[in-house]
A and B are shown apart, each in its own frame.
Chain A
Amino acid sequence: MWSNVEILTAAPVFIVQLLLNGVLIGAVFALAAYGLALVWGVTNVKNLAQGDFVMMGGYLGYTFSNFGLHPILTIFPVAAVMFLYGWIIYKLVINRVIQRELFTSLLATFGLAIVMQQGMNLIFGPEVLTADSGFKTRTLFDGLVTVTDIRMISFVLCGLLALALVLFMKRSRMGQAIRATAQDARAARVMGIDTEKVYAFTFSLNSAICGVAGVLISMIWVLQPFYGIAYSVRAFVIVTAAGLGNLPGVIIMALGLGSIEQFSGFILGAQFQQATVVCLLLIVLIWRRLLLQRHRQVLQ
C-alpha cells in the first residue's frame, strides 16, 4: 500500500492519469445522481433501482449495437425505450407508492432492482461485457498518460446532456411544471398543473437519463448485471453529500467521487473499489449527521 503511495509521490504524472480517469468517469456518475435527485425532489421517491436502470440502458445499447448501429448512436433509441419503460414502471408500481410512507417506496424500488438485475442476468449472463466503440487511444506526456478518445467523447456528451436538461428545466413548459411541482405539489395542482402527469414524466425522464448513462458506461467501462447496486450507492453518496436541487454540488461531488475511487483503487488495490464507495456512503452520512446534530436536527 505505501509502495503505491511512493509511486505517486515519485511520479506525479500518475496523479494526472488518475485524476483524468476519475473526472471522465465521474461525469457519468453525475448523470445518474442528477436523475436520482430529480425524482427524489419531485416525487419524494428514493429510487434504489437507479443503478439497475443504468445497467439496463447499457445492455439495451449493447443489443442495439449488435444490430449494426454504432454504439454512440444507440443513445437515441435507448433513451426512447428507457423513457417508455420508465413510464410503464411508473404506472405499475411507483404511482401506487408515492403517497405512502417513505420506506414503502424504498422497498418497492429495491424489489424492482432485484427483478431487473436478475432479469439481465438471465438474458445476458453474468459475464462482464464492453461495447466496442472503435476509437483510438491517445498518449500524453511521452506515453505516461493514456486517454481513450471514447472517454473524452462521453465526457462531452455528458456535458451536452446536462446543458440540455438545464435548458429544458428552465425554458420548457414541462420543465417549469416539474419545478413547480417540486416546490409545492398542492399549489401546483391548484394552478392547474396535472401533477400526476408531471410525476410520470419525471420518472420516465430519469429512466431515459439513466439509459444514456448506461450506454456511456458500456463504452468506457464494463457492464455486469450485478454492478447496478454500486451505481445506486454512488448516486446516493453524491446526492446525500450535495443535497437536493444543487446541480453544481452534484457535478463537483460526482467528479470528486470518480477521482477518489480511482485513487483508492490505485493505492489500496482494485478489490477495494466497491468497499471505498460503501465506506464513503457511511462517511457522508456520519458527516451530515454531525452537521445537523449541532442544531438538534436529524437527517430524514
Chain B
Amino acid sequence: MTRNSLILHVTILAAGIAAPLLFPGLVFQFAMLWIMILFALTWDTLGGQMGYNSLGNILFFGVGMYACAIVQIGMFYDVAEYTAAFGAIKVDFTDQQYYMGIALGLVFAAVAAFVVAAALSWVLLGLRGPYFAIGTLGAALAAAELTGAWDYVGGGGGLSMPVFPGEPGARSLFFYSLCMATSIACYFFLRWLYGTRFGLALNAIRDDEDKAEAMGLHTTRYKMVAWSISAFFLGIVGGLFGNMTGFIEPLEVAYPTLTFGIFMVAMTLLGGKGTLWGPIIGATLFHVVKEVTWTYLLGWQWIALGLLIIVNVVYFQQGIMGWMREKWPERFGLVVDTRATISRREDAQ
C-alpha cells in the first residue's frame, strides 16, 4: 500500500465512523450507502471482472434475508405457526436470545446464499452472454413468485422480524456498523482476490473463455466459486437489510429485481466496470444523488433511472474510472508509447 492509498483508506474509514455520529438522523441512509457499495462490488466480480452480466444477483439478497429470518425466529418459535398467525403471536426475545439469533442467522444467511449460488451455477453458468443475463433475470423473478407462494414463510403477506431489544438510536448504529464492517470486509477480500491467480483466471474468462479453457483452466469451477463468493456477501447483507426494515415480503423487500437488482448494474456501469474503485465511486455517487433528488422528481425518478441506464450504456460505457484512465493513463501505471501512437495516427491518415 503506497502512502497516498493509505491516506485514502484511513480517510474513508474515518468518514465512515464519523458520519453517523455527526448526522444521527441519516444513519439509515448511510447504512444503505454501505449496502449499495457492497451491491456494486459483488456485481462487478462477475459482471466486470469475469464478463458474466447477471441481471438477477438480487436473488441471493432475498435468499439471505429469508434464511436469516427463519433462523432468528425458528430458534425459539415454530416458524409456520408464527407466520400463520399474521402477527398475532408476538415474539419476545431476551437480549441474549436476540443477539445469538442474529449472529447465527447471518452465518446461515451467508451459507444458504453460497449453497444456492453453487447449485444454480450448474444450471445458469453454462449459459453465455445474453442467455446468462436473461436466465438470471428469470431465476430472480421465479424466486420472488415461488417465495410468494410458500406459506411456511408467510407467502406474499410477508413476515415481521424480531424487534431489536435496545433503543432506536442504538438499533440504527448497531446495523450501521454491521453493514459497514461487511462492506469493508468484502472490499478487502475482493482486493486481495483480484491480485491472486484466481483474479487473473476471472479476467482470462472475460477475455476469451474458450481460450482460457484450452489453456487448462477449469473455467466452470472458477465461475462457480466467483459467483458463490458474491452470493456469500449478498446473503449477509440481505439478512441485515431484513432486520433493518423489520418486515419482509417477497416482491418489494426480498427480491426487488427492478429496483436494487437494477441499481447494482447501473451503479457499477456508472463507476466503471472491471475496476475495484469504479463500483465504489458509482455506488456513492448514485446513492447520494438518488437520496437527494428522488423525492423531488415526483414519479419521474424511474424514468430518470431508465434514461440514466440508456445514456450510460450508449454514450458513456467506460464509466467514471474508465474515463479517468483514458484521461490520465500515467496515474494508473499505464505507459503511453507516444511514438507508437503517433505512427499509428500517421498510418490512419
Contact = CB atoms under 8 A, between A and B. Distances in A.
Interface of A: 46, 48, 93, 96-97, 100, 102-104, 106-108, 110-116, 118-119, 121-122, 229, 233, 236, 240, 271-272, 274-275, 278-279, 281-282, 285-286, 289, 293, 298-300
A115 B307 contact: yes
Contacts of A119: 303
A275 B313 contact: no
A282 B139 contact: yes
B253 interface: no
B131 A278 contact: no
Contact of A272 (B127, B133, B149): B149
A103 B134 contact: no
B213 to A, nearest CB: 10
B123 A286 contact: yes
Contacts of B134: 46, 48, 106, 233, 236, 281, 285
Contact of A114 (B123, B306, B315, B317): B306
Contacts of B131: 240, 285, 299-300
**Interface residues of B toward A: which range?**
35 or more
Main secondary structure of the interface of B (DSSP, over half): helix
B313 to A, nearest CB: 5
A298 B135 CA distance: 14
A108 B315 CA distance: 11
A114 B262 contact: yes
Contacts of B55: 110
26 contacts: A46-B130, A103-B130, A104-B313, A104-B314, A106-B133, A107-B265, A107-B309, A111-B308, A111-B310, A112-B310, A114-B262, A115-B307, A119-B303, A122-B300, A233-B138, A240-B131, A272-B145, A274-B141, A275-B145, A275-B149, A282-B142, A285-B123, A285-B124, A286-B123, A298-B128, A299-B126
Contacts of B146: 275
B299 to A, nearest CB: 6
A300 to B, nearest CB: 4
B302 interface: yes
Contacts of B141: 229, 233, 274, 278
Contacts of B306: 111-116, 118
B129 interface: yes
Contacts of A112: 306, 310
A275 B314 contact: no
Nearest to B140: A278
B190 interface: no
B148 A103 contact: no
Contacts of B178: none
B126 A282 contact: no
